[in-house]
Structure formats: structure tokens, C-alpha cells
Amino acid sequence: MKKKTSEKAYRVPLFDRVFKPRTVTLPNGHTVQKPVSRTPFIAAIVIAIVLISAKVTEFDFGIIISRGYQLGYILGRIFQPNWSYFGGDPANTAKLFNALFDTIKMSIMGSVIGATLALPIAVLSSTNINKNKYVVWFLRILLMVIRTLPTLIIAKFAALIFGLGTFAGTVAIIIFTFGIIAKMMYESIETIEMGAFEAAESFGANKFQAFRTSAMPQILPTYLSYCLYSLEMNIRAAAILGYVGAGGLGILINEFIGWRDYESLGAVLLALFVVVLIIENTSQYLRKKLS
Amino acid sequence: MAKTKSLLRQDGPLSIEEAYASRPRLWWVYTLVILIVAALLGWSGTSITYNGLANKGISIAQGIGYGLLHPDTSLLFNLTPEGVPYQLLQTVAIAVLGTLIGGILAIPFSFLACDKIVPKPVALVFRAVILGIRTIPSLVWALVWIRVTGPNAFCGVVTESVCSIGMICKMYITAIEDIDTRILESLDAAGCNGFQKIRYGMLPQIIPNFISTVIYRFDINVKDATTLGIVGAGGIGAALIQCMNSSRWSMVGAYLSGMIILMIFIELFSTRVRTRLARG
């Protein structure tokens, strides 16, 4: 079939060039082209990927069936937490609550510092405010690299450099929060209404003044809501950082699993559960107010 | 909260000076927020102390920098199971299977936890189960599952499957609640049976959402799978941590750079597929 010049703008996808679409003639004489369904093609790819993955990971469902009782046994003990950690034994209570407060402190400190550092970088990496393309792309690639690093690996590095303890965990959380908030913020800065910003600039305000007076009021609610959201995530993340020696509940989790003391592990998880629940609900309430 | 006065008076609009004088004044809100944040910071600062660099801290920092700039190329292009490509393949494989199984397991859970479909008490019970699953960190799940499967990549798959359920369910439930029921009613009026209603009325509405959720979760799971190796559940993390503990920085550099490149590719891929799904 010969193509008209007006149709040239539309490039036929590769798939339709390999598998020619079926031409159907309608009762009124018009012809329409029905492309071949892509579903079998995608399904074949997905099945191939799944088979390769199953081979690489030595997938063996039989193990779960034959040894699944182990999980029931462990979970059963986790769900009977050791209550001596909640006031029963002063030493244990102090141990648990110190670790719990360390975790909370690490995540609050890390979130606040990370979020503060993220704001100027987010402004510098949004294309509508910073016209310097090279700086924008440099910062964006930097942020992308930071976001790809798992928190535990950053925490491990920090623990090696700054020694074991809460400071290393705080550094890890700062870096993690920084990467996420900077990315979410430059995306929302790019969607702001630029009229007020340009007007302020045309009155002779410099970029900083224009941003403070005309862009800041627009992004402040979003920014605060992202900060709260990252605080929610950081509490969960901070809880396991201790596993690589960065302070907080993770140290206890590591200890109790090593000793197979699942009742105490249950107590730690229960404490974490309550804190996460409180912080998530408070933050969701505040975020609803902000929007 | 100070409200802006109406800009219109009986006798016409405000002058510029009057409008400026009646601008919203939120200074006390800002002061309150700053005070709260400062108080929290002061409290947090009490147990986070900077004790100087660790013994050999500077040489470790230099080592990390050196390793990232000079990755071990023989490891980077080594096709044996110790090499970076195989380790990355295993990490992705764990994430693929984990996400897929999690995505499938989440379907019954999310229908049972949606109070539009089942009675409220049932929905509440399932919501509590999902919340419980979500609260246990993935590392703890991995440590528990290791007792069942032994330390291998399969443990990672099982862990990812279970951990994914929580978040996937949350997003599935939103998708199910957003179903436009008028379509089902019109199919009913057209004389469709139950199966046809599900096939032509419900599936087209929820499937793009479900796939988009699963791909988003896949993105997270790959990142999670890189850390599961730390506890011995397969993936690149095990080798990475071993190299870090024994200060072989150029090998650390090779593993890290492989990981970074993989993560960037997966993020680009998932964003692309999800924008296509969203646009239809």
C-alpha cells in the first residue's frame, strides 16, 4: 500500500513492521487495519525472564512446603513478645527505650538536615530557574547516583569512616533524605506558576529575592509535606541501620536474632510498630492539613 | 489562621497599598513550626555526638574514593559467578520473581481488604494483617526466612515476595476503590453475565494500574535486593560487604559502579513503561 505524504509524520512501530497488521473491510466498504495483538509477544518475554530468574535464584518451592513449619515456629514466638522489655525489668526496658529513642533521634536529625540541604540543590537543578544547562545536568546525575545507593551501604561506609554509633546512622539518613527530597522538589519546582517569578525579576529583584517572594509560597506546602513523608520512611530505615553498626534498634535486632531470642525480637518489633504507627498517623494528619 | 480580607470593598477594589497592608500574615505559624523543629533538633542532638573520625577513617575515605575511580575492571567484565555481571543478574532475578509473586499474592489480599467488596470486619482484619507484614523490616524478614530456606538467593525471592505484599496491596486497594461502577451497571443493563462484567467492565480499569504498581515496586525491590545480600540472602550485597570489610576498595568500586549503572537503567526503564501505561 502506498503511503500518502500527509501520513509520513507517523512512524510505524517496529513491531507492526515485523508483524503486518490485518486489514479488515467494514460492511460500508471502508478498510481499517487491525494491529496484531502484542499480548503473546509480551507474555513470551515475561515467561522467558521468569524462567531465567528461577534458574539463577535456584527457585525451589518444595523447601517452603517441607520446612515451612520453621516460619510458623519463629513467627509464633515473635507474636509472644517478651514483656520484660516494657517495664518488667528496668535494665531491659532502659536498653530497649534507649535504642528506640536513638532511632527516632537519628531519623529526626537526619530528615531535618537532609531536607534543609536538599532545598538549595533542588532550586539549582530545576530548569525553569537555573538556566545553566551544565550545572542542572551535573546536579541531576549526582542526585541520581546518590539515590541508587542503598541506605544500608551508605550506613556501612559511614560506620567505617566515622566509627560505630548514631553519628554514622545520622549521616546515612542525611544522604538518603537529601537525594529523595531534592529529586521530588525539583520536579515540583518545575511545575510552579512562573508569572509571579518573572514579574519580580522584571522589577529588578535578583533570582534569590524573586524565588523567596514568588516561588517559595507556592512550593512551601509541598516541601513540608515531602519532609514529613521522608520522616515516615526514615523511621523504618533507621530501625535497621544498626545492623551494620550505625546505632539504634538494628543493634538489638541483630543481637536477638543471633541468639535466636525471638520473644525479645517480638518486643523490639512491637515497639517499632507502635512508633511507626504514631508517626505515620501524625504525619498523614499534618500532610492532609497542608494540602 | 490569618485570612486574607476580601479584595473587594463596597466602593470598589482595594488600592495597591491597602491590598499589601492586608496581605496574609502567617508569622506566628512559621514561628511555631520553627520552634517545634528546633525543640526536636535539640532533643535529637542529645545522643548524636561527633566523636571524630574512626581509627583509619581518613584512609578508608580515601580508599573508597580511589576504588570508585579505579574499579577492578577484571571483576567488572568477569562472567563467572563471582563477577559483577552474574551478581547483578542474580539481584535482578531475585527482584523479578519477588515482585511477580508478591504482585500475585497481593491480589486476593487487596480484594479481601477492600471494604467495598467484603464486609467491614473482614476488611479490617486483612488490613491489620497487611500492616503487620509492612511493619517488619525486609532485613528481619530475610533473617527469619533464612531459617527456612538456608542462606541462598531463593531466600531473597521469598523475602521480597512477602515484603512486596504490603505496599502493593495498599496501591491495589486504591485502584479497586477507584473503579467506575457505572460501567458495570451499563454492562448489566446490556445483559452481560458476571464473568463478562469482570472481563470487560473491571479488568480494563484495574490492569494498567496493577501493572504500573508492580513495575514501581520492582524498582524498589531491586534496590532492596542489593542489601539483602548483607544477611546472606543472595544478590550483590554479600560480595560488596565482604569486600568492604576486607578493605579491597577497587573491588568495592567495581561492584558499586555496576550497581549504580544497573539502578539507573532500571529507573529509566520503569519510568518509561509507567508513563506509557498512564497515557494508555
C-alpha–C-alpha distance, residues A105 and A166, integer Å: 9
Least Cα separation, residue A67 to chain B (angstroms): 6
8 Å CB contact of B264 and A148: yes
Q: Residue A29 has what pLDDT?
A: 81
To which residue does cell 539518613 refer?
A173
Question: Which residue numbers in chain A have pLDDT < 70?
Answer: 1-10
Indicate whether B50 pLDDT > 80. Answer: no
pLDDT confidence bin for B1, thresholds 50/70/90: very low
C-alpha–C-alpha distance, residues B206 and A192, integer Å: 31
8 Å CB contact of A153 and B226: yes
Task: Give the total residue count for chain B.
Answer: 280
* SS3 readout for chain A: CCCCHHHCCCCCCHHHHHCCCEEEECCCCCEEEECCCCHHHHHHHHHHHHHHHHHHCCCCHHHHHHHHHHHHHHHHHHCCCCHHHCCCCHHHHHHHHHHHHHHHHHHHHHHHHHHHHHHHHHHHCCCCCCCCHHHHHHHHHHHHHHHHCCHHHHHHHHHHHHCCCHHHHHHHHHHHHHHHHHHHHHHHHCCCCCHHHHHHHHCCCCHHHHHHHHHHHHHHHHHHHHHHHHHHHHHHHHHHHHHHCCCCHHHHHHHHHHCCCHHHHHHHHHHHHHHHHHHHHHHHHHHHHHC
Contacts of A116 in chain B (CB under 8 A): none
Indicate whether B48 pLDDT > 80. Answer: no
Domain A89-290 grouped into CATH 3.20.20.140: no
Indicate whether B39 pLDDT > 50. Answer: yes
Q: Looking at the partner chain, which of B44, B51, B263 has a beta carbon nearest the beta carbon of A163?
A: B51
The three cell numbers of residue B138 are 525486609
Contacts of A78 in chain B (CB under 8 A): 144
What is the per-residue pLDDT across B72-112, written as a single tens digit (0 to 9) for each? 888 778 777 778 888 899 999 999 999 999 999 999 998 88
pLDDT confidence bin for B12, thresholds 50/70/90: low
What is the per-residue pLDDT across B138-189, written as a single tens digit (0 to 9) for each? 888 888 888 888 888 889 999 999 999 988 998 898 888 888 888 888 988 9
Contacts of A157 in chain B (CB under 8 A): 64, 244
8 Å CB contact of B154 and A161: no
Q: Looking at the partner chain, which of A58, A239, A253 has a beta carbon nearest the beta carbon of B152?
A: A58
Element (H, E) at B240: helix B237-245
Q: Residue A63 has what pLDDT?
A: 82
Q: Residue A177 has what pLDDT?
A: 94
Q: Residue B2 has what pLDDT?
A: 42
Q: Are A233 and A58 in contact (CB under 8 A)?
A: no
Q: Complex ipTM, two decimals?
A: 0.80
Q: Looking at the partner chain, which of A49, A70, A272 has a beta carbon nearest the beta carbon of B135?
A: A272
B8 touches chain A (CB under 8 A): no
8 Å CB contact of A56 and B93: yes
Which residue ranges make up each domain of chain A?
89-290
Contacts of A273 in chain B (CB under 8 A): 132, 135
B156 touches chain A (CB under 8 A): yes
Element (H, E) at B12: strand B12-13
Q: Residue A84 has what pLDDT?
A: 85
* Mutate which: A73, A101, A148, vs B, most B CBs within 10 A: A148
Indicate whether B54 pLDDT > 80. Answer: no
Contacts of B61 in chain A (CB under 8 A): 161
C-alpha–C-alpha distance, residues B200 and B192, integer Å: 9
Q: Are A136 and A124 in contact (CB under 8 A)?
A: yes
What is the per-residue pLDDT across B227-279, written as a single tens digit (0 to 9) for each? 888 888 888 888 888 888 888 888 888 888 889 999 999 988 888 888 888 77
Residue A273's alpha-carbon distances to A239, B100, B134, B181, in angstroms, are 11, 27, 9, 36
A52 touches chain B (CB under 8 A): yes
Listed in sequence order, the residues at least 6 apart from A66 whose beta carbon sits closer than 8 Å to its beta carbon are: none
Task: List beta partners, residue B242.
Answer: none
A187 touches chain B (CB under 8 A): no
Q: Residue A1 has what pLDDT?
A: 45
Pick the CATH number of B57-279 from 2.60.120.10, 3.40.50.1980, 3.40.50.720, 1.10.3720.10: 1.10.3720.10
Q: Looking at the partner chain, which of A109, A164, A243 has a beta carbon nearest the beta carbon of B44?
A: A109
C-alpha–C-alpha distance, residues B36 and B114, integer Å: 37
8 Å CB contact of B227 and A68: no
Helix or strand or coil: residue B26?
coil
Contacts of A57 in chain B (CB under 8 A): 90, 93-94, 97, 152-154, 156-157, 234
Contacts of B46 in chain A (CB under 8 A): 105
Q: Which of residues 24-43 of B touch A (CB under 8 A)?
A: 33, 37, 40-41, 43
Closest residue of chain A to B156, computed from CA coordinates? A57
Q: Residue A237 has what pLDDT?
A: 86
Which residue ranges make up each domain of chain B?
13-43, 57-279
Q: Report which of residues B25 and B159 the model is more confident about.
A: B159
8 Å CB contact of B47 and A101: yes
C-alpha–C-alpha distance, residues A147 and A153, integer Å: 12
